[in-house]
Amino acid sequence: MTTATMNKADLMAPTVAQTMQQRSLVIGVLGAIASVVGAVKAPESFYSAYLTVFMLGLGLSLGCMAVLMLYHLVGGAWGTVIRRIMEAGMMTLPLMAVLFVPILLNLARLYAWARPEDLAKDPKLADIAHTYLNFNGTLTRAIIYFALWIGMAFLLNRWSTAQDSAEAKDQSTLRFRALSAPGLVIYSLTISFAVIDWVMSLQARWISTIYGLIFIAGQALAAFCFAVLIESILGKRKPMSEYLKPTEVHDHGKFMLAFVMVWAYFNFSQWLIIWAGNLPEEIPWFMRRMQGGWGTVGVFLAIFHFAVPFALLLSRQFKRRAGSLVWLASWLILMRIVDLWWHIEPSASLHHDTVHVSWTFFAVLAGIGGLWMAYFFRNLRARPLLAVYAPQTLRLLEPSHE
């Protein structure tokens, strides 16, 4: 495919995207109905499941945004080929903002700091709840987070759409970079505060300074795994089969390896420091996660979220084939769910010790997951799979030496 013959119609997503969108929507709607039933019938298990899946969806959206910003800053063909996938992913943020409302309206079901009876027992927690962790504070901060995220995503996306028309041909990539540099800083700060509000405060008296970074690593990993998953579907068909080369898949595999390692590095740092310090205010979080079956889940994560993927991703051949890489990418997305569940469920259900998965979890997973995917495919199908007149696209479509 040369630049001369390339046009917008050639670059639209194949019909499989429409099929996927319709199926996702059906799954999403059925899941949403089941979730409503779950919220009514089994509220004690529903809300922690909801929070877990919400964090997964939010992590994918924000991970896509962060990867896109990284691409705007450092460039490279690896990003040009998945740019529209990342943009479609981050533009699901409005859905995540709406999906946050049920959490906000049911704070007392999740957080001790929102329950007056718990505050009465713990004066220090009452202090924290009075100054920071309370409904108004959570609402205000959530509005700030989502306004910043959606604002940045909206701008990056609109400028990207402008690159689809010929008039934008001479436009530089400067404004993308000008937003992405502070954007990455804003993202890391806001997500750190957001996970303090929504996840870390489940165990309100426990503090870890590396907590936000663990989530950032997980979100970036999820975004790259998601990109590999989508490119394994679209890469077999035109137009992506024309421009997706093993080199780019290889790069995505390298990013997966990097973020698998970063995820393990942050988690291990947290574990090592708390283990070495052995202080009564720090260890309860891990004590809780070593009791019952949670210890097994933790070891399972160390092996299957880190060790095995790490060993597989060392192989060059493995990383270069989308067909093999996609299996690990799908597996790692599953591991992201387990990891989030391991972060949230033990703190949310302090009253029972055994590990159990309620049916409501699968209902919410189908509901939020289906709606997210349907929204994603809707966004993806709205525009060509490459930003047609972006300078990087022109470079991508030029043969490398002739």
Nearer to other proteins, 219 or 267 (CB): 267
Task: Please name the residues in contact with 79: beta carbons below 8 A apart, sequence gap of 6 or more.
Answer: 67, 68, 70, 71, 72, 86, 392
279 in contact with other proteins (CB under 8 A):
no
Rounded to a whole number of angstroms, the minimum distance from the CB of residue 4 to other proteins is 21
Task: Please name the residues in contact with 259: beta carbons below 8 A apart, sequence gap of 6 or more.
Answer: 217, 218, 220, 221, 224
Residues 361-400 that bind other proteins (CB under 8 A): 400
Residues 141-180 that bind other proteins (CB under 8 A): none
Chosen residue from 314, 334, 350, 382 binding other proteins by CB under 8 A:
314
Rounded to a whole number of angstroms, the minimum distance from the CB of residue 282 to other proteins is 14
Nearer to other proteins, 43 or 76 (CB): 76
Nearer to other proteins, 117 or 402 (CB): 402
Q: What are phi and psi of 384, to 5 degrees?
A: -60, 160
316 in contact with other proteins (CB under 8 A):
yes
Nearer to other proteins, 275 or 287 (CB): 275
Chosen residue from 43, 120, 275, 350 binding other proteins by CB under 8 A:
275
Rounded to a whole number of angstroms, the minimum distance from the CB of residue 338 to other proteins is 22
Chosen residue from 136, 278, 280, 351 binding other proteins by CB under 8 A:
278
Nearer to other proteins, 174 or 276 (CB): 276
Piece in contact with other proteins (CB under 8 A), picked from 165-173, 212-220, 248-256, 271-279: 271-279
Tokens 């493995």 correspond to 318
Nearer to other proteins, 40 or 276 (CB): 276
402 in contact with other proteins (CB under 8 A):
yes
Length of the chain: 402
User: In angstroms, rounded to a whole number, what is the distance separating the alpha carbons of residues 346 and 348?
Assistant: 6
303 in contact with other proteins (CB under 8 A):
no
Piece in contact with other proteins (CB under 8 A), picked from 56-64, 266-274, 319-327, 329-337: 266-274
User: In angstroms, rounded to a whole number, what is the distance separating the alpha carbons of residues 318 and 314?
Assistant: 8
Piece in contact with other proteins (CB under 8 A), picked from 146-154, 235-243, 265-273, 353-361: 265-273
Piece in contact with other proteins (CB under 8 A), picked from 33-41, 90-98, 118-126, 272-280: 272-280
In angstroms, the first-to-last Cα distance of the chain is 15
User: In angstroms, rounded to a whole number, what is the distance separating the alpha carbons of residues 302 and 333?
Assistant: 15
Element (DSSP H or E) covering residue 216: helix 211-234
Nearer to other proteins, 286 or 375 (CB): 286
Piece in contact with other proteins (CB under 8 A), picked from 18-26, 275-283, 353-361, 382-390: 275-283
User: In angstroms, rounded to a whole number, what is the distance separating the alpha carbons of residues 250 and 262?
Assistant: 18
42 close to 266: Cβ distance less than 8 angstroms: no
Instruction: Count the residues of the shown chain that bind other proteins, applying the rule CB under 8 A.
Output: 11
User: Per the omega criterion (within 30 degrees of 0), is the bond before 94 cis?
Assistant: no
Q: x-or-dash pattern for other proteins, window 327-366, by CB under 8 A?
A: ----------------------------------------
Rounded to a whole number of angstroms, the minimum distance from the CB of residue 399 to other proteins is 10
Rounded to a whole number of angstroms, the minimum distance from the CB of residue 329 to other proteins is 22
Long-range interactions of 11-16: CB distance < 8 A, separation 24+: 11/239, 11/384, 11/385, 11/386, 11/388, 12/239, 12/381, 12/384, 12/385, 13/234, 13/377, 13/380, 13/381, 13/385, 14/234, 14/237, 14/238, 14/239, 16/233, 16/234, 16/237
User: In angstroms, rounded to a whole number, what is the distance separating the alpha carbons of residues 377 and 386?
Assistant: 15
Q: What are phi and psi of 310, to 5 degrees?
A: -60, -50
Using DSSP's 3-state secondary structure scheme, residue 12 falls into strand
Chosen residue from 268, 290, 299, 334 binding other proteins by CB under 8 A:
268
User: In angstroms, rounded to a whole number, what is the distance separating the alpha carbons of residues 322 and 3?
Assistant: 25
Nearer to other proteins, 166 or 276 (CB): 276
Nearer to other proteins, 244 or 374 (CB): 244
Nearer to other proteins, 160 or 270 (CB): 270
User: In angstroms, rounded to a whole number, what is the distance separating the alpha carbons of residues 69 and 345?
Assistant: 32
Binding residues for other proteins, per CB under 8 A? 268, 271-272, 275-276, 278, 314, 316, 400-402
